[in-house]
């Protein structure tokens, strides 16, 4: 399995509703993501599912990626990616999709923890920046400590 993790793009500091989950991407955040994502199709082949946190900024990020990748399937929304799910929950989610290639879109500090758990039994420190793309490969199903970190691409690589 190939698992791609993407942290949402640059978001507004607060939403009019004052609810964190309603924060939207900034115009610059949208533009930077669009510019970066247009280069991803040569890196990401055979993507079956895009799964997003239900928070607005993550879903907007997933929509930009979907368009850039010319991805035909609907975006799956899963609350486990909104900061309430453990690494085990995410593993259960991606394995339940029974796909060879899945992208998840979500938040920090969760994604740093997930990547660390996927590729190490002793912990890896990373700073998962906004708009960053990370690829972790597994020989079969996703599992803790069973992944190989293939690459980390900051958003600014293509800007």
For 51-82, how does the pLDDT look when each residue is reduced to its tens digit (9 = 90+)? 999 999 999 999 999 999 999 999 999 999 99
pLDDT reported for residue 138: 97
pLDDT per position as a tens digit, 103-153: 999 999 999 999 999 998 777 778 899 999 999 999 999 999 999 999 999
Query: Phi/psi of residue 6, each to 5°?
Result: -130, 125
Q: Which CATH number fits domain 2-158: 3.40.50.720, 3.60.20.40, 3.40.50.1240, 3.30.70.3400?
A: 3.40.50.1240
**29: number of Cβ within 10 Å:** 22
Task: Kindly compute the dihedral angle of the four CA atoms of residues 86, 91, 131, 35, in this order, to the nearest 10 degrees.
Answer: -160
Domain boundaries, the chain: 2-158
Q: Residue 159: is its pLDDT beyond 90?
A: no
Query: Structure pTM?
Result: 0.94
């Amino acid at each position: 399995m190939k698992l791609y993790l993407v942290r949402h793009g640059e978001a507004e500091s607060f939403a009019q509703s004052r609810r964190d989950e309603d924060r939207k991407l900034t115009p610059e955040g949208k533009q930077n993501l669009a510019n970066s994502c247009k280069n991803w199709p040569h890196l990401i082949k055979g993507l079956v599912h895009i799964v997003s946190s239900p928070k607005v900024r993550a879903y907007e990020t997933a929509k930009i990626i979907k368009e850039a990748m010319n991805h035909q399937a609907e975006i799956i929304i899963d609350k486990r990616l909104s900061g309430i799910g453990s690494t085990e929950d995410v593993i259960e989610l991606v394995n339940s999709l029974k796909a060879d290639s899945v992208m998840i879109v979500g938040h920090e500090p969760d994604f740093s923890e997930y990547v660390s758990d996927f590729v190490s039994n002793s912990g890896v420190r990373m700073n998962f920046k906004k708009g960053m793309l990370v690829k972790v490969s597994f020989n079969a199903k996703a599992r803790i400590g069973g992944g190989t970190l293939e690459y980390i691409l900051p958003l600014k690589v293509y800007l």
